[in-house]
Amino acid sequence: MISSDRKMFDQGSDVRSRLLDYGGIVDELHVIVFTKKTLGLQKETFAHNIFLYPTNALTRFGYIARAIRAGVKIARSGVKFDVITAQDPFEIGFVAYALSRILNARLHIQVHTDHMGLYFKNESPLNRFRVMLSRFVLPRADAVRVVSERIKSALSGVVSRGVPIEVIPVFIDADRIRNTKITQNLKVKYPQFDKIILMASRLSPEKNIQMAIRSMVHVVERYPKAGLIIAGSGKEESSLKKLVNELHLEKNSMFEGWSSDLVSYYKTADVFLLTSNYEGYGMTVAESLLSGTPVVMTDVGCAGDLVQHGINGLVVPVGDEKALERAVMRVVSEGILFEKKEMAFPSKEWYLQKYKKSWQDALAKKV
């Protein structure tokens, strides 16, 4: 496995826990992780069959060469790789492709982001380069895992004909969310608000949180006791706070920073808001629905799959600020009632079986 998730080295992290699950469905799992030398990470073995290898590159530009070199070194030590899986079809995917050819292994590519649309491509020169990389890597894959039907449809003309594309959503521990007790009640913390609108995400450009803030101007005019709570951190934090000040929304917009107890936030908010330009799936959306909180979201990720417009939430076009404003007002004014029904989510066993099948599909593909 080729990855960029450094949390694999953190004891007790959710990412490391998932690795333990993956280790249970294979004989050996070797994971090369894009890391810089300054982090001081070391090669590590745990659960007897899981091996972590940091690239320890001097800069991010050294990740690719160091990762390929690490893979070749592991193979020379006597390890025979059957499948090489990449956690994205970009730089990581290219490393997996190169190693699959050098080591005569099957190539498995995972896609977590809906990257074929214009919003992703036009966001930056780096993203345009990544789209080009994916168009090189994906047609050479032996099997592909995606997190939503939306992404599967977008890749239908990119992945080679006959190559299996398995839809495996991000695993959500439904029982944990349902059974989590409320420890931080937003209604208690912010008694000045009659209606609480919650956002939880990285504060980065693709999340388009600016649109959510701008939409609050007219919402607050009609409903002065509506409050927007933004839980998260990122490079756009200062610019978002500046926008709040410019629009005189300081009393109605609160920046919470990141919280380790988002479930309490979901359960005590009136509506969860997601305004992204693109998403792969939208784990926070799923967690909100499991918490019993309706969702207003742009037409990305799991919209249409999990969020049914007018039933358990509202879906608006990407970038449509007026439509978002109208949707939020409908919820705040209680002009729409959503169904309260139990959400069915796959078990961990189902998830791991599908994951294993996707790797087996790569092995089963005819040369």
Mean pLDDT over the full length of the chain:
93
- What is the three-class DSSP state of 309? strand
Distance CA 192, CA 211 (A): 23
Q: How many residues does the chain have?
A: 367
pLDDT in tens, 72-118: 999 999 999 999 999 999 999 999 999 999 999 999 999 999 999 88
Task: Place 366 in a pLDDT band, splitting at 50, 70 and 90.
Answer: low
The pLDDT of 148-157, averaged and rounded, is 92
Q: What is the fold of 175-332?
A: Rossmann fold (3.40.50)
| Nearest residue to 184 via CA among 259, 101, 100 | 259
| Nearest residue to 57 via CA among 46, 44, 70 | 70
| Nearest residue to 241 via CA among 189, 289, 190, 203 | 203
Domain 2-169+348-364: top CATH class: alpha beta
Asked whether the domain spanning 175-332 has the same topology as the one spanning 2-169+348-364, the reply is yes
Rama region for 91: left / alpha / beta (φ>0; ψ in -120 to 50; rest): alpha
Q: What Cα–Cα distance (Å) separates residue 154 from each residue in 37, 111, 169?
A: 37, 11, 16
What is 160-201 written as a DSSP string?
PTT--EEE-PPP--HHHHHHPPPSS-HHHH-TT-SEEEEEES
Domain range annotation of the chain: 2-169+348-364, 175-332
| Nearest residue to 198 via CA among 267, 246, 279, 244 | 267
pLDDT in tens, 108-141: 999 999 999 889 999 999 999 999 999 999 999 9
User: 84-87, long-range: CB within 8 Å, 24+ apart, which pairs?
Assistant: 84/1, 84/2, 84/108, 85/1, 85/2, 85/109, 85/110, 85/359, 85/362, 86/1, 86/2, 86/110, 86/137, 87/1, 87/2, 87/3, 87/4, 87/5, 87/112
| Nearest residue to 189 via CA among 250, 268, 251 | 268
Q: Are 107 and 140 in contact (CB under 8 A)?
A: yes
pLDDT in tens, 182-240: 999 999 999 999 999 999 999 999 999 999 999 999 999 999 999 999 999 999 999 99
Distance CA 16, CA 86 (A): 17
